[in-house]
């Protein structure tokens, strides 16, 4: 069983998957930065100078001027602005992965399916049948 597990790990699929996770994590960081620093500021500006990352509803009934003040108090809150940012990041990341997979599938060599080999006996019998029909 240990030998089979070692063979499985060294086949390449697991190594490829590990590399994919590493690059995926790095790419997710880049997308997060793009959403937080490039996309959301203009969107917030268009919507009346709203900073989405600062939108929240405090559940303890008190008023907090900023998200930092809320976090310092330790009060529970619904941070829906961060959720909006995360959803936009998810959509962008999903679209990029979709485009990557679509391009990968186009570049992948199509497998040529060979016609199944017909045994010589069947070919001979088919020829005899055709001759008899004539």
What is the number of domains present in the chain?
1
116 within some domain: no
Task: Report the CATH number that the domain containing residue 74 is assigned in CATH.
Answer: 1.10.1200.120
Q: Considering the entire predicted model, what is its pTM?
A: 0.58
35 contacts: CB under 8 Å, gap ≥ 6: 85, 88, 89, 92
Strand partners, 78: 57
62 within some domain: yes
114 within some domain: no
Helix axes 2-10, 13-34, angle to 10 degrees: 50
125 within some domain: no
Full residue range of the structural domain in which residue 19 is found: 2-109
121 within some domain: no
97 within some domain: yes
φ/ψ (deg, to 5) at 77: -155, 155
25 within some domain: yes
43 contacts: CB under 8 Å, gap ≥ 6: 52
Can you give the pLDDT of all 134 residues of the chain as single tens digits? 778 777 766 666 666 777 778 888 888 888 888 888 888 888 888 878 777 788 888 888 888 888 888 889 988 999 988 898 888 888 888 888 888 888 888 887 777 777 778 888 888 888 899 888 88
């Amino acid at each position: 069983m240990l030998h089979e597990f070692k063979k499985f790990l060294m086949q390449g699929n697991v190594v490829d998957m590990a590399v994919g996770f590493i690059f995926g994590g790095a790419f997710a960081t880049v997308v997060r930065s793009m959403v937080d620093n490039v996309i959301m500021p203009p969107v917030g500006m268009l919507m009346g100078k709203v900073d989405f990352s600062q939108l929240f509803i405090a559940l303890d009934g008190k008023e907090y001027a900023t998200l930092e003040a809320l976090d310092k108090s330790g009060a529970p809150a619904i941070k829906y602005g961060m959720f909006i940012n995360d959803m936009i990041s998810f959509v962008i990341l999903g679209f990029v992965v979709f485009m990557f997979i679509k391009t990968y599938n186009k570049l992948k060599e199509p497998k040529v399916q060979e016609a199944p080999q017909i045994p010589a006996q069947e070919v001979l019998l088919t020829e005899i049948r055709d001759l008899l029909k004539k």
